[in-house]
Structures are given as structure tokens and as C-alpha cells.
């Protein structure tokens, strides 16, 4: 079966802050086998993680989302917001209500998981443009910079703290080997990279022509023309302010620049203006997705999850997303909703490994993981910060098992707001460097999936002695090396998953189960979904449609089907091979029910058994119109209680009913 590319999005560097948890730089995760995400989470030991008394509640797929929303909305002690399908944000009015609701949701069998609405913060840093520019494109050893720029210092403090420490001279050859790659090819396959961050200054001269445009939307008509749930989202969406303004500042006093800086690193144009981005020679589009706001760049789980799902829906293939907090002994919470969103996405996520502890001392993510970069997902690439001298930046997180590759992230010159440029330092800069490199590889090799492109990127990393034993590849990004790799060594898996179906009858009912056996010849099955109706593979391609099935021992089941329905089963492996199987399930439902008596007279305290026989076997429910006159049990045994009359009804589980008139005498 034809290989289908897996969608992806670009990544930036953030930090999750939960009360006493120290600010950290983001760790990241190597490409690993995709794990099934458990949606069952226990309540954290206290309520301190529940910022602003907000709870994210995930209900099981079997529960009606509309009915759940109506039920939750009736509770006046909380405010409810529907996030996505069976996912809701519940805000308690006070601390006692918060505790009460946590206890209530934890015991509700319909609830899949509950968790806090975590708060995230970016960690991209900046300085004044005092030095020559893009050393990372061709490092001949002449670049010299002040060691002050080794540190990912807060923007504001840096502007008012200019003092020299000592100068550092670059080491020749420590670059991403991009110049020969630019000569190798141009254009190639189109790639859309989502920058899920603080927003992007889409008017910047150096970013013209590469900003994503939603052609299905008519600008300014205040109508959701493409029916995707977002009005006038011509160039992306702002999840912070709930509008289509995707710029990364709300006012001149709240400029952040972080998202715009990442955009320039990835794709600033070759246009005789400013700089050239890594993937400037390819056919790329950058999708701005704003999930962080204000000059300090804070954002929540809800906005980040919504932003990822939006990017996926709009067709992004790479996601630049660097968020995190350090998991410590006192706080080991995992943002399970974010993890589930990433693991189930068709995008590849390039994630910054993190900028160390609160003193900017790099952390070993193998020992102290930083999430979400340390999530064990095969669609994550984690990136460390390499200096111009070929050493790991002292503030960069590392990990032989948990961090994949290094890329330049120290003193990086790129676009910022108001048509300007500046230097930033941090793993936030390293991540878009790799995201751009991934776009290059995918554009060049027209017969590989995005996951295969990420594998090529990691396998062709250029060895750097200072990285040996620190990160899994022991090397740095080498784009030309990836493009000139021996093509015979690139393993192309064209074997699609295999799906078999069997319809089974359930005992004592007309309902049926659809039992599926799903396997993959190369043992790299990624996910299995289903949808009602006859669908094509493209229906599931965005990852936002279809209900995911849990596969245990190659078996998955759609249970208790009660109406004639056509199901489409979809399976995809880690190389993008897809299989679609359409299975019609015919259900014959009861149309009539015959009772052993249509009327009956009883003496008080006497009983009789009302037999009910449906035309098709099913379960029967017996009820009495007046239990004080006569009651009936689940087996149809009627007991007379007092003088009077009532109706005893027998009803099938699809609503077919018949009644017996009962008269009770003394």
C-alpha cells in the first residue's frame, strides 16, 4: 500500500510552572516505540496543583458528550467549558468545591481521567545584536562572542545588565552543514510546520511568502467558511485571546518575540533581506498557533492541547513545541492529557530538551525527566543546545536515553517583532533548527514518511566528542549528511497493517460485537481507529477524526452494537502505511412482544408470573404503573399489594412495549 506521510509540527521551548516547582528548561524525548496512553489517573495527593481551581475532566468515549455537558452545566458551584469531544474544563467556585469535585470525579465510573490545567512558560532568551550573524550556517572558526550569551537569561534583565565576562572563539566545522544542502536542491515536497508558541509577527519582511494561508476561509467576513470551528482563521489561531490575531505581542510593552524568532530560524526567506532560515530553499509554510501570552509567555494545558489539535486539523506535519517542567520527588505529576494528545497525533514533535534548573545548570533528563519532552512517544525528537565551540551549553539538559540530538542554540541571530532581528540563546533555538532540518529531509526524499525522515535525521548526526555519552546519537544536526546518505541504507517499509473482522452474537440479546484482529507484518503498528459510515483513509489522516481503539494482543472490539451500522476500520503503522476496512453490521431488532396475559385479577398478597416473549431474543425490563397496587420483579413475578388497578409493562431494550392490566381485590 502506498506510504502516507505522517503530519508534523515545529517546536519551541517553554517551562511548566506549578506553584513551588522550579522553572526549568524543557527536556525532550528520543524517537521511541509509541506506547498506548493510559487514561486512568489517580488524583494528586493535594489540591495545590489545581491552579485557579481548574480541573480537566476526560470522560470515556462510550459516554454521550452532549449529555455530559448538560449534566455538568446544571451544577451551579462550577463553570464548565467543553474543550474537545469528551474533554471538559471545570472551574470550581472555591477550594471546598474543588476538593468535593475531585472526590466526585475520581469515583465516577464514566470518567477516564482528571488532572490540573497546568501552566506553561516559554524559556527563549534574547540579547542586543552586537555580533556577526549566522555562525551555524558555515562556521569557519572566525565567529567570536561574549560568554554572557551562553546563558538563557530573561529578556528584561539582560537589557539592563550589559557587562562582559570573557570572549569565546568558535571552533571551525561546528555547524549544521546547510550551505551544500541549499545547493543540492530547491522546493521539493511541500511541508507545513506549526509553531505552537507566543504567535508570530506575520508582517515581518523576512517571513513573507512562508506564512500559512487558509484558502478555505474568506478574510474579514466573520463567518467560519470552512466549518472548522474558528472564524476567519486565515493565518492560524490565537488560543490565548480566542481570536485570529496570531501576532506574538499584545502591545509594545508586552512584546515577546519568541515565536517570531523560531519562525526565522526555520524559514526566513532568501530575499536579500536579513537572514536565511534553515529550510528557506524548500516549499514550506509556517502555521502560527498562539498558546502563550504576555511578555513572560504563559499558557495552559487546555490552550496547548487545543492548539496542537488545531495544527493537526489544518494539516501541519511538524510541530515546534518546547514546553516543560522538571519532575521532582515532591512533584512527579505527568500532564496526561497533553501526553495523550501528542502520542495520538499524526505530527512529529521537535521538542527542546530544556535549559537546566533555576540556576541554569543542565539537568540529566534520564534521572530527572522534564515533561512533555520526556514522554516516551515515537513521534518526538528532543534537542539539546550546542555552542559554537562544539560543547554542550552548560544550561542545556541532556540524557543518553532521553535526549536525541544537539543543534546550535547559543547566540542565534533571527527575526523578532517590528521588522527587527536579535540574538537568542536556549534550547528553544535548537529545536526549530532541527525542525527546519527535518523539513529539508522530508522535502528532498519524496518516498519517505515524516517518521522515516526523522529516523534519517538522527542516524546521520555528525559525531561530536563533547556529546558522547551525553545524548543518544552523540552528535549534532548534519543536514547535508542526511541528504547524501546512501539511499540503499534507507529502509522503506511498504507493508500495511492487516485487519480481519468477525461479528459475534451476544447471549440473550440482539446486540452484536464487532471483533477485530489487527496485526502489522513489521510489528510497528501505530494506531487503530474506527468511524461510522463508509470512509476513506483521508478522513482519518488529520488524526482528529475517528475513535481510537485499544488493541490488546492484536485484538480490539466494538461492543454492543444495537443498530444496523457500517463501520470503517483504519490502521496505520509507524511508517505511514494505512489500511482501511469497511464492515457492515446488520442488526435485527425486536418489533413486537407477546405477553402470557393481557389482563389479570389477583387477591392481595397473591402472585403470578407474567411471561414476555419478543419476536427476537433480547433483554426485557418489567415495570409497574403503580407499585403500591402491584409490584413486579426482574423475572416478571407480579405481587398484589393492595386493592386497585395498574399496568404491568414489559419493554425490550430497544423500546418495544406491551402491557397487562392487573386488578387487585381483597
What percent of the chain is modeled with pLDDT above 90? 57
- pLDDT score of 119 more than 70: yes
Cα(266)–Cα(433) distance, integer angstroms: 6
- pLDDT score of 619 more than 50: yes
| 625 contacts 663 by C-beta, under 8 angstroms | no
258 is catalytic: yes
Helix then strand then coil, in percent of the chain rounded to 5, is 20, 30, 50
Give the pLDDT band (50/70/90) at residue 359.
Answer: confident
Residue 230 vs residue 21, higher pLDDT: 230
What confidence score (pLDDT) does residue 251 get? 60
> What is the secondary structure of 598-636 as a DSSP string?
SEEEEETT-EEE--EEESS---EEEEES-TTTEEE-TT-
What average pLDDT score do residues 622-644 get?
A: 97
- pLDDT score of 8 more than 50: no
Residue 42 vs residue 294, higher pLDDT: 294
pLDDT in tens, 403-415: 999 999 999 999 9
pLDDT in tens, 443-453: 999 888 898 89
Cα(218)–Cα(505) distance, integer angstroms: 51
Structural domains of the chain in order of their starting residue, each with its CATH number: 9-32+169-489 (3.40.50.200), 51-117 (3.30.70.920), 498-585 (2.60.40), 593-665 (2.60.40.1080)
On the 0-12 / 13-18 / 19+ scale of CB atoms within 10 A, 329 is exposed
Selected catalytic residue, list 197, 303, 493, 520: 197
**Phi–psi pair at 340, nearest 5 degrees:** -60, -40
Residue 129 vs residue 104, higher pLDDT: 104
What average pLDDT score do residues 26-37 get?
A: 26
Cα(665)–Cα(16) distance, integer angstroms: 73
> What is the secondary structure of 177-219 as a DSSP string?
--HHHHHH--EEEEEEEEEEES---TT-GGGTTTB---TTS-T
Selected catalytic residue, list 428, 526, 624, 649: 428
- pLDDT score of 630 more than 50: yes
Give the pLDDT band (50/70/90) at residue 498.
Answer: very high
What confidence score (pLDDT) does residue 524 get? 79
pLDDT in tens, 556-598: 999 999 999 999 999 998 778 899 999 999 999 999 999 999 9
pLDDT in tens, 126-156: 332 333 589 999 999 998 887 766 666 433 3
pLDDT in tens, 603-613: 999 999 999 99
Residue found under cell 532540518: 437
As given in the structure block, the three cell numbers for residue 630 are 402491584
- pLDDT score of 37 more than 60: no
Give the pLDDT band (50/70/90) at residue 175.
Answer: very high
Give the pLDDT band (50/70/90) at residue 375.
Answer: confident
Cα(17)–Cα(251) distance, integer angstroms: 24
What confidence score (pLDDT) does residue 311 get? 95
Q: What is the mean pLDDT of the chain?
A: 84
- pLDDT score of 459 more than 70: yes
- pLDDT score of 272 more than 90: no
As given in the structure block, the three cell numbers for residue 210 are 512562508
- The DSSP element (H or E) to which 70 belongs, if any, is helix 65-73
**CB neighbours of residue 442 within 10 Å:** 31
What confidence score (pLDDT) does residue 145 get? 81
- pLDDT score of 180 more than 80: yes
Residue 290 vs residue 492, higher pLDDT: 290
What percent of the chain is modeled with pLDDT above 70? 85
138 is catalytic: no
Cα(351)–Cα(30) distance, integer angstroms: 10
**How many alpha carbons lie under 13 Å from residue 344 in its C-beta half-sphere?**
25
What confidence score (pLDDT) does residue 323 get? 67
What confidence score (pLDDT) does residue 535 get? 95
What average pLDDT score do residues 546-556 get?
A: 88
19 is catalytic: no
Query: Residues 6 or more apart from 483 whose CB is under 8 A from it?
Result: 181, 184, 185, 440, 441, 444
CA dihedral angle for residue 141, residue 147, residue 151, residue 156, rounded to 10 degrees: -120
pLDDT in tens, 47-100: 667 777 899 999 987 788 888 888 899 899 999 998 877 899 999 999 889 989
pLDDT in tens, 298-337: 888 899 999 999 999 898 999 998 766 666 555 556 788 8
Amino acid at each position: 500500500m502506498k506510504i502516507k506521510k505522517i503530519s508534523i509540527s515545529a517546536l519551541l521551548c517553554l517551562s511548566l510552572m506549578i506553584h513551588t516547582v522550579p522553572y526549568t528548561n524543557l527536556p525532550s524525548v528520543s524517537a521511541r516505540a509509541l506506547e498506548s496512553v493510559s487514561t486512568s489517573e489517580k488524583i494528586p495527593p493535594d489540591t495545590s496543583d489545581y491552579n485557579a481551581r481548574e480541573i480537566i475532566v476526560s470522560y470515556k468515549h462510550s459516554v454521550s458528550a452532549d449529555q455530559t455537558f448538560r449534566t455538568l452545566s446544571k451544577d451551579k458551584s462550577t463553570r464548565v467549558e467543553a474543550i474537545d469531544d469528551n474533554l471538559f474544563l471545570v472551574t470550581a467556585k472555591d477550594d471546598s468545591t474543588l476538593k468535593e469535585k475531585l472526590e466526585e470525579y475520581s469515583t465516577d465510573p464514566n470518567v477516564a481521567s482528571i488532572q490540573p490545567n497546568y501552566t506553561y512558560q516559554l524559556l527563549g532568551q534574547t540579547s542586543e545584536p552586537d555580533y556577526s550573524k549566522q555562525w551555524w550556517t558555515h562556521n569557519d572558526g572566525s565567529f567570536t562572542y561574549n560568554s554572557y550569551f551562553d546563558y538563557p537569561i530573561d529578556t528584561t534583565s539582560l537589557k539592563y545588565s550589559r557587562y562582559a565576562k570573557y570572549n569565546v572563539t568558535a571552533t571551525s566545522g561546528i555547524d549544521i552543514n546547510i550551505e551544500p544542502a541549499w545547493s543540492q536542491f530547491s522546493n521539493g515536497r511541500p511541508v507545513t510546520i506549526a509553531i505552537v508558541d507566543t504567535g508570530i509577527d506575520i508582517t515581518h519582511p523576512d517571513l513573507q511568502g512562508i506564512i500559512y494561508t487558509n484558502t478555505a476561509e474568506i478574510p474579514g467576513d466573520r463567518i467560519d467558511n470552512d466549518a472548522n470551528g474558528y472564524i476567519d482563521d486565515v493565518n492560524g489561531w490565537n488560543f490565548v485571546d480566542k481570536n485570529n490575531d496570531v501576532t506574538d505581542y499584545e502591545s509594545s510593552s508586552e512584546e515577546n518575540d519568541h515565536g517570531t524568532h523560531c519562525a526565522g530560524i526555520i524559514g526566513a526567506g532568501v530575499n536579500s533581506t536579513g537572514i536565511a532560515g534553515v529550510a528557506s530553499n524548500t516549499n514550506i509554510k509556517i502555521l502560527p498557533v498562539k498558546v502563550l501570552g504576555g511578555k513572560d509567555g504563559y499558557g495552559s494545558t487546555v490552550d496547548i492541547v487545543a492548539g496542537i489539535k488545531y495544527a493537526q486539523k489544518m494539516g501541519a506535519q511538524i510541530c515546534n513545541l518546547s514546553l516543560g517542567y522538571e519532575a521532582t520527588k515532591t512533584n512527579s505529576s505527568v500532564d496526561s492529557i497533553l501526553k495523550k494528545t501528542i502520542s495520538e497525533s499524526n505530527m512529529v514533535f521537535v521538542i527542546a530538551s530544556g535549559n537546566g534548573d533555576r540556576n541554569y545548570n543542565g539537568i540529566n533528563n534520564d534521572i530527572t525527566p522534564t515533561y512533555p519532552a520526556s514522554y516516551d512517544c515515537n513521534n518526538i525528537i528532543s534537542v539539546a543546545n550546542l555552542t559554537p565551540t562544539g560543547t554542550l551549553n552548560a544550561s542545556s539538559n541532556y540524557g543518553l536515553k532521553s535526549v536525541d540530538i544537539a543543534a546550535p542554540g547559543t547566540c542565534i541571530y533571527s527575526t523578532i517583532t517590528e521588522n527587527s532581528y536579535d540574538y537568542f540563546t536556549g534550547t528553544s533555538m535548537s529545536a526549530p533548527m532541527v525542525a527546519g532540518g527535518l523539513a529539508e529531509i522530508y522535502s528532498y526524499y519524496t518516498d519517505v514518511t515524516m517518521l522515516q525522515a526523522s529516523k534519517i535525521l538522527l542516524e546521520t548526526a555528525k559525531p561530536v566528542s563533547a556529546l558522547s555519552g551525553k545524548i543518544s546519537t552523540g552528535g549534532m544536526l548534519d543536514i547535508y549528511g542526511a541528504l547524501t546518505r546512501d539511499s540503499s541504507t534507507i529502509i522503506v517499509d511498504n507493508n500495511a497493517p492487516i485487519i480481519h473482522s468477525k461479528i459475534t452474537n451476544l447471549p440473550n440479546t440482539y446486540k452484536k460485537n464487532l471483533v477485530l484482529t489487527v496485526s502489522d507484518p513489521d510489528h510497528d503498528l501505530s494506531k487503530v481507529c474506527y468511524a461510522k459510515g463508509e470512509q476513506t483513509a483521508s478522513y482519518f489522516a488529520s488524526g482528529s477524526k475517528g475513535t481510537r481503539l485499544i488493541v490488546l494482543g492484536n485484538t480490539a472490539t466494538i461492543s454492543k452494537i444495537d443498530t444496523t451500522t457500517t463501520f470503517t476500520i483504519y490502521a496505520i503503522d509507524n511508517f505511514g502505511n494505512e489500511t482501511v476496512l469497511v464492515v457492515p453490521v446488520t442488526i435485527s431488532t425486536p418489533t413486537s412482544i407477546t405477553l402470557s396475559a393481557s389482563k389479570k385479577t389477583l387477591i392481595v398478597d397473591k402472585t403470578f408470573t407474567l411471561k414476555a416473549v419478543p419476536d427476537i431474543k433480547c433483554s426485557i425490563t418489567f415495570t409497574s404503573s403503580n407499585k403500591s397496587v402491584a409490584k413486579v420483579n426482574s423475572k416478571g413475578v407480579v405481587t398484589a399489594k393492595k386493592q386497585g388497578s395498574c399496568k404491568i409493562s414489559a419493554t425490550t431494550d430497544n423500546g418495544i412495549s406491551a402491557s397487562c392490566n392487573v386488578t387487585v381485590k381483597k
